[in-house]
Amino acid sequence: MTAIDMSWFRSEHSAEYLKTLIHKGKRRHFGLLERPSLPPSREVTTADYKIFVCGKSGVGKTATIAKLCGANIPDSFSETSGIETTTVYWPALIRDGGKVIYFRLNFWDVGDNAMKKFDHILPACQASADCFLYTFSFTDRTSFEDLPQLLSRMSTDSSESPHPAQVFIGTRADQYTMSDISEAEVRDLSQCWNIPVLRTKNVPSDKPAIEQLKDIAHIMNTICNMLWARDHLQIR
């Protein structure tokens, strides 16, 4: 059983909440002190989570975050110079009690060179992280093969409770061919580590903003579901 209703975003009930993520026909970007606005009768709880997006340089970490927050997706690679944080809100219906809440997901992105140059950066990104988003590219086999080493590198003190949720996400899924990484390998990876594997194309879209939200719904719902289940259903 899932902690949130994974298909709620398709319902009429969700429309009012999804519209708070749109401004003048485009995705709304939220600052540190901003939040979605609803009528007083519709005010909902906000759940804050920190997500550390990690992976090999050039696999598309920054582009993935841009896709999820509705920002322009970079058309060329430029390594992140330091730590960058991006806030993304996502409404979800909690199955237990039928309550709608906003997940406030704070995505942390950092460039490999900065992490290697400054010893304090990796611990800062790991500290109090609620989720590790392990990123690889379907067109870069090395990034896929490096995932077990990445998991070991990102592991935190086992005494930390609750443990961070973990998700794999493969970028450039639109360029995927069986010669790069086979479906069997992807399935084996997920089963071996008991971690879901998500996919994203990270290409610009000319769809209406509400349709763009529906395109990322599976990714956002999966992350939110794992976080809520971790904290409230005692799933590890």
pLDDT in tens, 23-49: 999 999 998 888 998 887 777 899 999
Q: Is the pLDDT of residue 187 over 90?
A: yes
pTM for the complete prediction? 0.91
CA nearest to 16, candidates 34, 50, 43: 43
* Domain locations in the chain as residue ranges: 8-30+41-232
Hunting for tokens 């944080």 — which residue is that? 85
Over the stretch 218-229, which tens digit does the pLDDT of each residue have?
A: 999 999 999 999
Angstrom CA distances, 194 to 46, 64, 198, stand at 28, 22, 13
Place of tokens 């960058």: 84
Separation of CA 98 from chain center: 24
**Are residues 136 and 148 in contact, defined by beta-carbon separation less than 8 angstroms?**
no
Mean pLDDT, residues 170-194 taken together: 87
Is pLDDT at 183 greater than 80 in this prediction?
Answer: yes
Angle between helices 183-193 and 147-154 (to 10 degrees): 20
Supply the pLDDT for residue 21. Answer: 96
65: nearest Cα among 32, 30, 107: 107
Tell me: pLDDT of 89 over 90: yes
- What is the predicted pLDDT for the residue at 1? 64
Task: Report the percent of the chain where pLDDT is more than 70.
Answer: 93
Q: CATH second-level architecture of 8-30+41-232?
A: 3-Layer(aba) Sandwich (3.40)
Residue 118's pLDDT is 78
What is the distance between the terminal CA atoms of the chain, rounded to a whole angstrom?
Answer: 14
**Which residue has tokens 């490096």?**
146
